[in-house]
Amino acid sequence: MKLYTTHRSPYARKVLITAIEKGFMNEISCVEVDLRNKPPELQKANPLGKIPALVTNSGTCYYESSIICDYLDSLSEPRLMPLDPNSQIEVRNLCALSDGITNLAVDHFKETLRPEEKQSRGLLKKFQTTIGYSLTHINDLLPTFGTNITPATISLISALGYVSFRLPELNWRETLPNLSEWETLFSNRESVKETALLI
Ligand SMILES: N[C@@H](CCC(=O)N[C@@H](CS)C(=O)NCC(=O)O)C(=O)O
């Protein structure tokens, strides 16, 4: 399998953590992509031109990080996704919340890339406030995330890593000690250490 990726992508990190947890890293060759100069083969594999994109051995391309994680999870037992439908919907809901935080942090970063005089202070503030509000909400929801590795915990680990990297000024570890403690539980896991975003 071929995975188009970039080392600073929180979405690709979800896929890599899943691949390591499922023991598939030896079967995946990673292609590091320069997003400012996308190779034609990425566009060919994924018409959206986004990473992560996974091309399977039979040539199928999966585009969205959650779909790629689902695909990898489906390849072997035990599954990271709980089998019970009610638990599944809970896990997917928590994934949506965590991925939503990642999306806000990415949008914030994109805004900071614009020339300073064109950046919207209001928009940046709105992204920061919504991230802060969502992290506080997750702090209260932590028991539902649990401490097993699931697609939801993977999404949350990835979101927290990205927020810490791009928005250190939010200082969430100081204000949300429960969430910080929860993150620490996972920090020595091989899949988490090996995929830590490079700064
Ligand atoms: N919802 C998508 C988001 C993927 C995404 O936005 N990836 C970014 C890199 S972090 C990208 O490829 N950006 C390049 C572009 O949009 O052209 C997922 O979960 O896979």
Range of the domain at 20: 2-74
Q: How far does the centroid of ligand 1 lie from the alpha carbon of residue 51, in Å?
A: 5
The CATH number given to whatever domain includes residue 69 is 3.40.30.10
- Residues 139, 187 within the same domain: yes
Mutational pocket test of ligand 1: of 3, 5, 8, 11, the residue with most ligand atoms within 8 Å of the beta carbon: 11
Give the C-alpha separation, 113 to 20, whole Å: 32
Mutational pocket test of ligand 1: of 51, 99, 195, the residue with most ligand atoms within 8 Å of the beta carbon: 51
Look over the chain and give the mean of its residue pLDDT values, rounded to a whole number. Answer: 95
pLDDT of residue 198: 60
pLDDT of residue 7: 86
* 74, 94, 110 - which closes a domain: 74
In a domain, 107, yes or no: yes
Give the C-alpha separation, 191 to 23, whole Å: 10
- Residues 117, 184 within the same domain: yes
The answer, yes or no, to whether residue 21 has pLDDT greater than 80, is: yes
Q: Where are the beta strands (DSSP E) in 19-160?
A: 29-32, 53-55, 61-62
* 15, 44, 74 - which closes a domain: 74
pTM: 0.96
- Residues 67, 93 within the same domain: no
Q: Whose CA is nearest to atom 1 of ligand 1?
A: 64
